[in-house]
Amino acid sequence: MIADNTEDASGKAVESVAFDSNAYKITFTYTDGTKQEVDLPVESVLSAVSYNGATHKLTITLVSGSTSEINLADLVDVYTVVSSDTVEMAITAGAISADVKVSAETGNRLEVKQDGLYVPEPDLTIGAF
């Protein structure tokens, strides 16, 4: 609160000061009847920020209620995978995985071991076939 009849920087005497809390404006009334209004930029202050993962958009809401959207899609890497007859590909929670498809056909010698795929040496002894 400024005291009655206080001079401002211009040398004019300030008679009263009023604050409009709805418009965020301060009004100085001088002893000569003139007024000066100062608009505080409170409406430019952030009220909320949200991110939509489906659209990859950041929404900024100001105290005034106005909103701005920023598309962040170019900053988000989107991967797609393609499975084949021999490899099943998947993306789960951002991780890419691949599983080898091993045929169940009779005579298939391919085995899945802990350290990788394995084909045992054929038994070449007479009578093994």
Q: Is the pTM of this model over 0.75?
A: no
At 67-92, the pLDDT tens digits run 999 998 888 777 889 999 999 999 99
- Taking the C-alpha atoms of residue 59 and residue 123, their distance in angstroms, rounded to an integer, is 67
Instruction: Say what the pLDDT of residue 7 is.
Output: 59
Burial of 103 (0-12, 13-18, 19+ CB in 10 A): exposed
What is the average pLDDT value for the chain, to the nearest integer?
85
**73/57 Cα distance (integer angstroms):** 7
Domain borders along the chain are 6-39, 44-75
Where is pLDDT greater, at 63 or 50? 50
Cα separation, 50 vs 61, in Å, equals 9
Separation CA 66–CA 50 (nearest Å): 14
Query: How many CB atoms are closer than 10 A to CB 72?
Result: 13
Confidence of residue 6 (pLDDT cuts 50, 70, 90): low
